[in-house]
Chain A
Amino acid sequence: MLEINDLTVKYQTPRGALPVLEGINLTARKGEVLGIVGESGSGKTSLALAITGLSEGRLEGSVQFQGEELLGKSREEWERLRGSTLSIVMQQAGEMLTPVLPLIEQVMEPFLKKHPRQKDEAFRRASAMLHKVGLEEHSFYRYPYTLSGGEVQRALLAMALIAEPELLILDEPVSSLDALSKADILTLLEELTGECTVLVISHDLSTIARLADRAAVLYCGSVLETGPTASLLQAPRHPYTRALVRSYPSLYGLKELQGIRGEFPSLGERPGGCPFHTRCTQALEICAQQRPGTVEKEGGRNLACHRGGVVELLRGSGLKQRYALKGKGKDPYLEAVRGIDISLDEGEVYALVGESGSGKSTLGRMLAGVDRPYAGTVSFQGQGFFQLSPAETKKAKRDLQMLFQNSGEALSHRMTVHELVAEPLFIQEVGDPQTRREAVRRALRWVYLPDDEHFLNEYPHHLSGGELQRVALARALVLEPKVLIADEPSASLDASVQAKVIKLLLQLQNERGFALILITHDLALAARAGDRVGVMHEGKIVEEGPAADILRRPLHPYTQSLLGAAPSIGGANLAATGMPSPAEPAVAAAEGPNGKPACSFSPDCAHSCEECFRYVPPLVRVGFQKVACYRYA
């Protein structure tokens, strides 16, 4: 059992002693594989060096292995320890193999150090171990410089394991290898690390995901989040973990790659307070002043965040909206939204998909506070939006902006670009004319529009559709909102402009760090843009979940048919199902035999049965997805 308590490592630099690791608390049980994830420069290797007694810095705190304090041991003691109970595979350790000795002799070395006189035994063990790591006999006497990277890595592994250590530290074991060797080594590692406690250090999330039982996220020398690997990576709670996971390319997630906004601070320029606050989208004042303590959360998760992890910004519960079809009073109503629960986290992109008439825009308008729901509540930053006083509502609207569906319509043709973009500032009484003008210029630069006097005095009818959309975007962003609800921001534009606007929107989302609800009828776009995707059908969310999961494994027949019908040019669709294309809203069929409204998709569904006509399927959790279909109920 490895226990690290309050470990601090300081390096002496010309600018004084700078802490590279601060207050690290970690434990790894016997036989457990603990992953350490972090960007380069976060202090991962310093941690490994500190545990193995190789660190050149000044160490404080305690590192205990099997109850034995490791810090403060003498050089000799460390030598003994490293030979027997703990071994380390260093990053790019190929360079550390002696080029003048054949491979097997170097592999024998650690064993000989432990048992100096048993040369035969050492040879036997070394060759067995080399076999085990997948090296052929003809390689045993080769010199290191004749070996490939994968072979070197295997040899190093053999070297590390030959002394049968109880603690194995792997620093970036596979990061320099190609995909196939990587996969081989990872498989090997899974087999070999049976009994011993392993610390895997990597910037590569897939390595951690594959090997580690638990993982810790390291940023600027602090552990920000720890927890079981699967839940940590699938449902990250710390803003940094989420950003890190989001930056990682995966074959199934179609989402565009976005780095984490801002730059990784160098050692001398590490910010005070929470180390991540300069790049965090939800930082408060306290984050800059005080280091957050680690708090235990459910599911074995530990979190160091003043705000308790990613905050929920917007929530709609039981939202319903209906419109009188004809006249007023007793006439039939069109149920545009029929009871929706939806939530939006800080800095998240939620893509809302559905065909026209499914109630997406209606839902968006309710969430933005434009229209009052017929039933249900919208809470924004924990406060019921429609219960606010007029003054509070006005204030809340600064942080909650909407990009309207038809931007040309939403811009008054009697105002100049400057008047248009400055309008929210003017209404909200922000700043004086001079600062407003500056703010307008800044917002125009964000959306890559000219900010000169000539453009500021243009009227909308002189602008192209793409420019109008960007003016509307600049107007929505000029107040620097926390949430932007974009209703079909690209629908009316041609393909190339469409791509530009969407790219711009996502880039701005990343840079400015606002949460985004992207309303679209295009599933491909939703999957590319969204962290989460919600699929709407006739006023209900029928499926919701991480974008990658929805795309790879759509559960609801409607989602499947949407995927099947996804527009593509050339080549087959993602999922060519033989589903009938969703037809006209079947109002009549939504009434079951006993008068209860049933699953709205059932009339078009290939899997529909009697159940579907009888009961409204509830939204149930399946893995990380939620689906409303009787087949999963």
Chain B
Amino acid sequence: MHVNYWDELKGDRMGRAGLYMTGALAVVALGASWLAPHDPWAYVAPPLSPPSWSHPLGTNEVGQDILSELIYGTRTTLLVAVSSALFSSLLSLLLGLAAGLFRGKVERVVLRLVDVMLVVPVLLVALLTAAYLRPGIPGLVVLFSLLFWPPGARIVWSQVLSLKQQGHLTAARHFGAGTWYLVRRHLVPELYPLLAVNFIQVVRRAVFMEAGLAFLGIFDPSIKTWGLMLHYARDFVFTGAWKWWLLPPAAAVSFTIISFALLGYALESALDPRLRRHVHAGN
């Protein structure tokens, strides 16, 4: 069976919505320096100014432009989320492949590790580690990558097991193919769609967790991020400023999570028949 995922995605209403939304986010993140009206770190107006033409969302307690902060925050959020998703998916792929291909001890170690990781509350670990280490962006990416790989690895492992029984792998092996060839030409291409879904899910989780950690104040304060904006805005809830200071970053987080959720949902529904088929074949 051969599915054109791109067409499937475009054909689906939610998929299309997700694509547009994530596309918009990407544009904002990439073009932050041109889109932002002001330098978000500069003192541009009196603190806590209400919205005006030059500062559509007003300023914060140190006189920085909130809209510019919001735009630069998109960049941070996407950077952290996408790189964490990339690295954790890579980890999932490597460990899942190793477990599925080599079986034996490797498999036992990887799977037990997955089990352990799955029962540990990820948020708590992240919170404690982040609070202790106070990581910057790279540190956060490493932390997220290490925390988010287990579900993906387990999916890859089970897929590899069922793929290994498939005719075209047997055939290739019979032609004399080595393990590396099988991985490159037969396994990884088959795993791509699964990894894509996994990737989107990790992005979603990373966005949420990054915002959460920053909201709790465990983040480098010099970096512009939505979570930190929420963190600082919380202290000024009693003033009217929450309407243009607290709500926009909260909406941005929701928007991002929703956009990736839509994308993920559409991708998964495109893949669903395949997944079902493999579950049967595996049994």
Contact = CB atoms under 8 A, between A and B. Distances in A.
Interface of A: 368-370, 393-394, 397-398, 401-402, 404, 406-415, 423-424, 427-428, 459-461, 475, 479
A413 B174 contact: no
Nearest to A407: B167
A461 B177 contact: no
A550 B169 CA distance: 37
Contacts of B181: 427
B176 interface: yes
14 contacts: A369-B174, A406-B167, A409-B168, A411-B167, A411-B168, A412-B185, A413-B1, A414-B2, A424-B175, A424-B176, A427-B176, A427-B177, A460-B2, A479-B175
B261 to A, nearest CB: 28
B186 interface: yes
Contacts of B189: 412, 414
A397 B181 CA distance: 16
A-B residue pairs, 10 tightest by C-beta: A409-B167, A410-B167, A394-B176, A412-B168, A424-B175, A410-B171, A397-B176, A461-B2, A427-B175, A427-B177
B190 interface: yes
A422 B251 CA distance: 54
Interface of B: 1-2, 166-168, 170-177, 181, 185-186, 189-190
Given A402-B174, A404-B171, 10 more contacts: A370-B173, A402-B171, A409-B167, A410-B171, A411-B168, A414-B190, A424-B176, A427-B175, A460-B2, A479-B175
Given A414-B189, A414-B190, A368 B167 contact: no
Contacts of A397: 174-176
A413 B2 contact: yes
A412 B186 contact: yes
Contacts of A423: 172, 175, 185
A459 B2 contact: yes
B1 A427 contact: no
Contacts of A393: 176
B189 to A, nearest CB: 5
A409 B181 CA distance: 19
A18 to B, nearest CB: 47
Contacts of B185: 412, 415, 423
A479 B174 CA distance: 13
A582 to B, nearest CB: 28
A407 B1 CA distance: 14
B191 to A, nearest CB: 11
Contacts of A402: 171, 174
A411 B168 CA distance: 5
A398 B176 CA distance: 8
B222 to A, nearest CB: 47
B229 to A, nearest CB: 45
Nearest to B173: A370
Nearest to A461: B2
Residue picked from B1, B176, B181, most chain A C-beta under 10 Å: B176
B1 A461 contact: yes
A398 B174 CA distance: 9
A328 to B, nearest CB: 12
Which residue, B166, B167, B190, has most C-beta atoms of chain A within 10 A? B167
B186 to A, nearest CB: 6
A368 B174 contact: yes
A413 B277 CA distance: 15
A409 B166 contact: yes
Contacts of A407: 167
A394 B174 CA distance: 9
Contacts of B166: 409
Nearest to A370: B174
A371 to B, nearest CB: 9
A370 B170 contact: yes
Nearest to A462: B2
A414 B190 CA distance: 8
A532 to B, nearest CB: 24
A428 B1 contact: no
A362 to B, nearest CB: 13
B172 A427 contact: yes
A406 B189 CA distance: 21
Contacts of A401: 174
Given A409-B166, A413-B2, A414-B189, A428 B171 contact: no
A116 to B, nearest CB: 80
B240 to A, nearest CB: 58
A461 B190 CA distance: 15
Contacts of A428: 175-176
Nearest to B176: A394
Contacts of A475: 171
**Most B Cβ at <10 Å: residue of A402, A410, A411:** A410
Nearest to A371: B170
Nearest to B281: A409
Contacts of A479: 175
A398 to B, nearest CB: 8
B277 to A, nearest CB: 12
Nearest to A424: B175
Contacts of B168: 409-412
B3 to A, nearest CB: 9
Of B175, B185, B186, B190, the most chain A CB neighbours within 10 A belong to: B175
B170 A410 contact: yes
B195 to A, nearest CB: 14
A525 B209 CA distance: 66
Contacts of A427: 172, 175-177, 181
A163 B187 CA distance: 84
A368 B171 CA distance: 11
